[in-house]
Amino acid sequence: MSETQNLRVVLASRPIGRPKTSDFRFEHAPIPQPGDGQLLLETQYLSLDPYMRWRISDAKSYAPPIGIGEVIVGGTVARVKTSRHPDWREGDIVLAESGWQQYALSDGSNLRRLDPAIAPPSTALGVLGMPGFTAYGGLLEIGQPKPGETVVVAAASGAVGSVVGQIARIKGARAVGIAGGPEKCAFVKNELGFDAVVDHQAPDFAQKLAEACPDGIDVYFENVSGHVWDAVLPLLNDFARVPVCGLIANYNDGPEGGNGPDRLPRTMREILARSITLRGFLVYNFTAARHDEFQREAAGWINEGKLLWREDVVEGLERAPEAFIGLLEGRNFGKLVVRLAK
C-alpha cells in the first residue's frame, strides 16, 4: 500500500440476509490534506460492532442507512498525524468515529483524547467505550439488579455481555452467562467469574438454562433474541426487567422476520401474566446522565481487578469484512477490533 494512498472500505451493495464479502468494496483514494482548523487522523484500531449490520441495511432505524459507495461507519482509535487545529497535536491518540479507512480528516469535534497510561487505547472501543457503557447503562438504568437477584446475559464472552455479567456481580446479583461452545463457556465461568454459564449450542440448552436459574430470572439483558429468548421467556419472574440492547440473531433477517409459528402472542402473554418490562434502548439515551460516572466507575473497577476484558484482534483492514461477517455468526471471541498495519 502506498504511503500516499488512503485505503477505505465502502458499501458495494446492500446485503440481503447474511452479508457477503462482495457487499464491501476496497478503494484507494489520495490521503486528504487538512485545511485550517482540521487535523488528519491515522486509524490504529477499528471497532467492529453488531449495530453496523443495521446501518448497512435500509431498515428504518435510529440513524439513516449508509449509502451505496459510502465508507462504512465505525468507532476508531486514531493517531493525529498532522494538525492544523489549535487544540490537537501530532501524536495525540484519540477516540474517533472515522470509519473503515486508514485516514480521515476531522475538525476536532466528537474526538476524545485517550491517555495510554490509564489503559490500552483499544479499550476505548470496548470495556471503557461504547460497548462497556451500553452494558452499564442498560443494566443499571433498566435492569436495576438487586443483590441476590439472577441476571442472565447472552453473548457473555462478548464486548457487552462480559461487562453486563461482571457489573451484575459487583452489584451483588448472581450472573448467569450464555455463550457458544466450550471454550467461550470456560472463559466466562473461570476467567470472568460468572456464577454459571450455559452453552446455547447444546441440544438441551433450555433445560440447562433452567437448571442454572433455580430461582428464575429477574433481569435478562437481551442482545441476541432467537432461540435464546424462547428459552429465557418461561423462566422470567414476576416483575422481571428486560433491557433490549441487540437482536443479533435477527439482524440478517428481512424486514418481516422469519417463518411461523408466530412467537409474538406467547411473548405478549408472558409479559402480561408476569408484569414483565421490556425496554429498548440505545446507548446514547444515557450519555448525558451517566457517561462520566461510567468512565469513573469502570476505570476504578479495572484498577481493582473486578472488571476484565478480552479482545479479539484482527490484523489489517483487508480482513474487516470477513471479520464482521464472523461477528454476526458469533465467530469472534471477545471484543472484536481490527488493528491497522503501521
Choose between 171 and 263: whose C-beta lies nearer to a copy of itself: 263
- 64 lies in the binding site for a copy of itself (CB under 8 A): no
Q: Which of residues 180-219 bind a copy of itself (CB under 8 A)?
A: none
Q: What is the smallest separation between the CB atom of 238 and a copy of itself, expressed in angstroms?
A: 8
Q: CA of 74: how far to CAs of 149, 150, 204, in Å?
A: 35, 33, 37
- 143 lies in the binding site for a copy of itself (CB under 8 A): no
Judge contact between 176 and 197, C-beta under 8 A.
yes
Strand 236-244 to 277-280 pairing: parallel
Dihedral (Cα; 206, 211, 212, 213), 10-degree rounding: 90
Choose between 88 and 251: whose C-beta lies nearer to a copy of itself: 251
- 282 lies in the binding site for a copy of itself (CB under 8 A): yes
- Listed ranges 17-25, 121-129, 162-170, 251-259: which one lies at the site for a copy of itself (CB under 8 A): 251-259
- 288 lies in the binding site for a copy of itself (CB under 8 A): no
Beta-carbon contacts of residue 167 (< 8 Å; ≥ 6 apart): 135, 136, 139, 140, 301, 307
Choose between 92 and 230: whose C-beta lies nearer to a copy of itself: 230
Return the bridge partners of 140, or none: none
Long-range own/partner contacts, residues 266-271 (CB < 8 A, 24 or more apart) = 266/233, 267/229, 267/233, 270/233, 270/234, 270/236
One of 12, 170, 244, 308 touching a copy of itself (CB under 8 A): 244
- 255 lies in the binding site for a copy of itself (CB under 8 A): yes
What is the C-alpha to C-alpha distance for residues 21 and 7, in angstroms, rounded to an integer? Answer: 16
Q: What is the smallest separation between the CB atom of 211 and a copy of itself, expressed in angstroms?
A: 19
- 271 lies in the binding site for a copy of itself (CB under 8 A): yes
Return the bridge partners of 79, or none: 42, 93
Q: What is the smallest separation between the CB atom of 339 and a copy of itself, expressed in angstroms?
A: 30
Q: Give the footprint of a copy of itself on this chain (CB under 8 A).
A: 54, 59-62, 222, 225, 229, 244-247, 250, 253, 255-282, 285
